[in-house]
A = this chain, B = another copy of it.
Amino acid sequence: MASLTKSYLDLINDCDRFPYDHPFKPPGDHWTKIYQFLLPEDPRPHGFMLAETVKKMPWTSDFVIDHETRTVRLSPSQDKGDLSISCTTALSKLVQRAIDEDTFRVIHRTHSEAYPIIGANFPVSLERYGSTLFGIISRGAHLTVYTKTASEMKIWVPRRSPDLFTYPNCLDTTVAGGVAFGEGPFECIVREGDEEASLPEDVIRNRVVHCGCISYVGLNDPKGDGETGLIAPDIMYVYDLELPENMVCKQNDEEVKEFYLMTTDEVKESLAKTEFKTNSALVMIDFFIRHGIITAENEKNYAEIIARLHRRLPLPTTSQQGHNC
């Protein structure tokens, strides 16, 4: 059976799937039904919810739903003194109710780590699984570890465990993790670098280079597990680590099945065959651009690819006061 191969732009289209024209007047019925999620005393939307989600959610009295303006406003009924506490508590109660009633498959009937609402005017968190239903910006940190042999560059690529909820058996970035509430993306890499690839903390702290971030607006897809079509704005902070040939990455927890040291041609081939986790493919493409493997001379969609890898998200990423969780 001949397998379909994908271009770099195809891979980006698979990941960055939300329409560009206008978030509230895009073509098609699906998108005209989006609800904006609002926080108290802030006119800016912090998430985009599907009408189906709004309909199914076991709302508490802390939320005001307006079907005319298509908004869900968090308006805590208690503890108005400290919005940080009252909003986090209200969101937590709602998630607990959704767990108890088993309303959504993406929640997996279980609690998950706290994620911040990054553009909020005060620190506020929501559990990871719950935040996907609200279409809030999630953040990940991705480290690409590579080595330069005499003849070429090679990249450390793990295969995900077959037991993971999402993207089982797919290839992935060397080290990656979700950035939790109160954590900086670099600290996430320090933590995950040991857990996932047995990389010593001092090696990470002394040699890793911060290289920017990738941003896109995904729609969660059938390869994931749970509701589909949820709007998933995401920021992936990217880091590089060059290791000498005598240092290796090896699995250290149950999330990674095994590590391969792949040539860039092998990575290209695996990308084309969609063997990578959807958003990790973008990290590889960005790495190839920054290291001169993809160039304006060998890729006709160069400018388009680079712009799409750094989408300006339709939600704020800093507070109105410049505060940043």
Binding site for B on A (CB under 8 A): 20, 22, 184-186, 209-213, 215, 235, 237, 289-292, 295-297, 300-304, 306-313, 317-318, 322-324
| Chain B residue with Cβ nearest A309 | B310
Q: How far is the CB of A10 from chain B (nearest CB, A)?
A: 12
Question: Can you list 27 contacts pairing A with B, beta carbon distance less than 8 Å?
Answer: A184-B296, A185-B297, A186-B295, A186-B296, A210-B295, A211-B289, A212-B289, A212-B306, A213-B296, A213-B302, A213-B303, A213-B306, A215-B303, A215-B307, A235-B303, A300-B318, A300-B322, A300-B324, A301-B322, A303-B313, A303-B318, A304-B312, A304-B317, A307-B310, A307-B311, A307-B312, A309-B310
A306-B310, A310-B306, A317-B304 are contacts. A290–B215 as well, Cβ < 8 Å? no
**B185–A296 touching, CB < 8 Å:** yes
Q: How far is the CB of A184 from chain B (nearest CB, A)?
A: 5
* Contact among B210, B290, B307 for A313, CB-based, below 8 A: B307
Q: Give the distance in Å from the alpha carbon of A323 to the alpha carbon of B323 in the complex.
A: 45
Question: In the complex, what residues of B have CB within 8 A of residue A292's CB?
Answer: 209-211
Q: How far is the CB of A271 from chain B (nearest CB, A)?
A: 18
A235-B303, A317-B303 are contacts. A20–B312 as well, Cβ < 8 Å? yes
**B211–A290 touching, CB < 8 Å:** yes
**B312–A308 touching, CB < 8 Å:** yes
A211-B289, A312-B307 are contacts. A318–B296 as well, Cβ < 8 Å? no
| Chain B residue with Cβ nearest A307 | B312
